[in-house]
């Protein structure tokens, strides 16, 4: 009987610890889980496509405070906003985590948003992913084509500014091997490709420049205030 009691106690502790751990990861945007809802009749469907910034990595109370969730509140009931962010995703299919190989991409293609907001590119700056201007531009053109086939109202967001992690030397690679100088470089390439397609650009890069306080400790993921500022900018663009 003692053995059975001990086993039950151990299992109970493991279950409680697991539940606490899961809640922590989910609440801080670290779980990678998604929750999709069907748009109601007459609602304008908005697809937020991107990487961990769109997903809301490290956002506190993730469910309510990731930028697409905040955008939903700003736009109101006439809109149905979906978060199709995938942490670590790259534009380039040659990257280590191509966006098109993940479920959010497939779901975004099923959803067929009336409006698509794209913010992706930072992960392409990693040393193992970066192949230069020509490869990135070609990949970005192809990426846009995947959505232009069914949506003419596309907004291109430049990637957020990047900063070094708190307490680290401000040289070399940033958190997650992001190369800040390359992010600045590819941001200009994104502007140029958007111009080729006559697509409006939302300048998240400029918005977040000189605002280190809008980022988490790692320096590359916006915190709750940063997500709010991004949502405000996207909302303003859509409503214009």
In a domain, 70, yes or no: yes
Query: Is residue 138 classed exposed, middle or buried when 0-12, 13-18 and 19+ CB atoms within 10 A define those classes?
Result: middle
Tell me the pLDDT tens digit for each residue of 115-138: 999 999 999 999 999 999 999 999
155 bridge partner residues: 117
In a domain, 21, yes or no: no
Whole-number percent of the chain with pLDDT over 90: 81
pLDDT, the chain, mean: 90
Instruction: Please give the average per-residue pLDDT across 196-217, as a whole number.
Output: 98
pLDDT the model gives residue 32: 74
CATH assignment at residue 163? 3.40.50.1110
In a domain, 14, yes or no: no
In a domain, 64, yes or no: yes
Whole-number percent of the chain with pLDDT over 70: 87
Domain with 118 in it = 32-239
Residues in the chain: 240
pLDDT the model gives residue 113: 97
In a domain, 192, yes or no: yes
In a domain, 2, yes or no: no
Q: How many domains does the chain have?
A: 1
The residue written with tokens 């069907």 in the block is 38
Q: In what order do the strands lie in the sheet with 44-50?
A: 79-85, 44-50, 115-119, 153-157, 201-202
Alpha-helical regions (H) of 28-154: 52-55, 62-65, 67-75, 103-111, 133-148
In a domain, 7, yes or no: no
Tell me the pLDDT tens digit for each residue of 52-105: 999 999 999 999 999 999 999 999 999 999 999 999 999 999 999 999 999 999
Please tell me whether residue 118 adopts helix, strand or coil conformation.
Answer: strand
200: left (phi over 0), alpha (psi -120 to 50) or beta: beta
Tell me the pLDDT tens digit for each residue of 175-206: 999 999 999 999 999 999 999 999 999 999 99
In a domain, 11, yes or no: no
Distance CA 15, CA 17 (A): 5
Position 16 pLDDT exceeds 60:
no
pLDDT band at 26 (very low <50, low <70, confident <90, very high): low
pLDDT band at 33 (very low <50, low <70, confident <90, very high): confident
């Amino acid at each position: 009987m003692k053995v059975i009691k001990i086993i039950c106690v151990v299992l109970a502790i493991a279950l409680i610890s697991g539940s606490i751990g899961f809640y922590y990861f989910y609440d801080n945007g670290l779980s990678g889980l998604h929750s999709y809802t069907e748009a109601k009749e007459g609602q304008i469907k908005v697809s937020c496509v991107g990487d961990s910034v769109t997903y809301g990595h490290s956002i506190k109370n993730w469910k309510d405070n990731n930028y697409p969730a905040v955008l939903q509140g700003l736009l109101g009931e006439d809109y149905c906003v979906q978060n199709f962010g995938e942490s670590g995703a790259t534009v380039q299919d040659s990257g280590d985590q191509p966006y098109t190989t993940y479920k959010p991409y497939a779901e975004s293609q099923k959803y067929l948003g009336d409006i698509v907001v794209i913010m992706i590119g930072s992960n392409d700056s990693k040393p193992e992913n970066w192949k230069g201007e020509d490869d990135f531009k070609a990949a970005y053109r192809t990426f846009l084509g995947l959505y232009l086939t069914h949506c003419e109202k596309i907004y291109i967001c430049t990637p957020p500014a990047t900063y070094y992690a708190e307490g680290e030397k401000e040289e070399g690679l940033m958190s997650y091997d992001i190369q800040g100088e390359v992010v600045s470089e590819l941001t200009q390439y994104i502007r140029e490709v958007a111009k080729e397609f006559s697509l409006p650009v939302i300048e998240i890069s400029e918005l977040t420049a000189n605002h280190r306080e809008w980022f988490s400790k790692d320096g590359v993921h916006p915190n709750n205030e940063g997500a709010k500022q991004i949502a405000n900018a996207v909302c303003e663009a859509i409503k214009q």
